[in-house]
Amino acid sequence: MDNTRGWILVIGILLILAAIGFSMVWVVRDTVNNTVSPVQSMTGDLGTRVAQVINPTPTILPDPVTILREIRTLARLETVQYSVEKVISAETKQEPFGFLFGDRLLFVAHGKVIAGIDLEKLAPEDLRIKNNVLYVRLPEAEIFIAALDNESSYVYDRDKGILTRGDIHLESEARKVAESEIEKAAKTDGILELAGKNAENYLYSLFRQLGYPEVIFESPERSSGSD
């Protein structure tokens, strides 16, 4: 009987010690977690701040002062718009050591060209009435806008020599040439002729609505030779 009581006492003591040890483990773990969490948070904040110092976010502050250089009154009748795509090849230092110092790129240019007539150039003598017929001599059609669409234009490919970092002005030069080529392509495709024709069609309807029963558009040569 004494032996049985002794074993019961030993087992009880062991259970009490086990419970105390388990409680201490939980207390230590909570203490460690509470200590480590602020350190981890501080480390994360420090890393974020270091990243901001190395790669700062640009701050753009426009000057509050605006200067108007010129104000012009426009009377442009835009009658046609072309959307043009052009591939431009630009290169520098290709021979004889192009593989070392050369720089070459392919630029895909997207742009728009707008043409029409400038009604401000229409003089009183360009409009005359004879035998109840309105004779109109319109100004020549011209290009109003020839500009790149920067969001749609891009460098398709670039090949630099192994000993060069490339020409920093090469893409800018390609963009200038692309803008000129876009305007040239539109002219070759007949944008000015179409702009003049569209202007005549539009103004013909307008003059008819103003009460003129017949409207004839004539070229400058024809008008100067008439009475």
The 3-state DSSP class for residue 224 equals helix
Residue 132 zone, left/alpha/beta (φ > 0; ψ -120 to 50; rest): left
- 112 and 23 housed in the same domain: no
Name residue 65's amino acid. V
**Total number of domains constituting the chain:** 2
Residue 108 lies in a domain: yes
| 165 within domain boundaries | yes
One-letter amino acid for residue 73 of the chain? T
Sign of CA dihedral 36, 38, 43, 47: positive
Q: Which of 198, 197, 194 is nearest to 186 (CA)?
A: 194
pLDDT digits (tens, 9 = 90+) for 39-93: 445 455 555 555 555 556 677 777 777 777 777 667 899 999 999 999 988 887 7
Q: Are 5 and 43 part of one and the same domain?
A: yes
Q: For residue 215, give the H/E element and its range.
A: strand 215-217
Q: pLDDT digits over 9-47, tens only?
A: 445 444 554 555 555 444 445 554 554 444 445 455 555
Domain identity same for 55 and 100: no
For the CA atoms of 175, 181, 182, 188, what is the dihedral angle to 10 degrees? Answer: 180
What does the alpha-carbon distance between residue 165 and residue 161 come to, in Å, rounded to a whole number? 8
- 106 and 12 belong to one structural domain: no
In the numeric block, the tokens 């259970």 are attached to 15
Query: Do 108 and 78 meet the contact criterion of CB atoms below 8 Å apart?
Result: no
Task: Please check whether residues 102 and 187 belong to one and the same domain.
Answer: yes
Note whether 146 and 179 are same-domain residues: yes
As a whole-number percent, the residues of the chain with pLDDT over 90 amount to 38
Provide the residue range defining the domain that includes 85: 76-224
pTM here? 0.64
Q: How many Cα atoms occupy the beta-carbon half-sphere of 84 within 13 Å?
A: 27
Which one, of 139, 203, 150, 144, lies nearest residue 174 by Cα? 150
Same domain, 22 and 122: no
Helix H or strand E segment including 169: none
Name every residue whose Cβ is closer than 8 Å to that of residue 218 and which is 6 or more positions away in sequence: 135, 136, 137, 226
The CA distance from 14 to 2, in Å, is 18
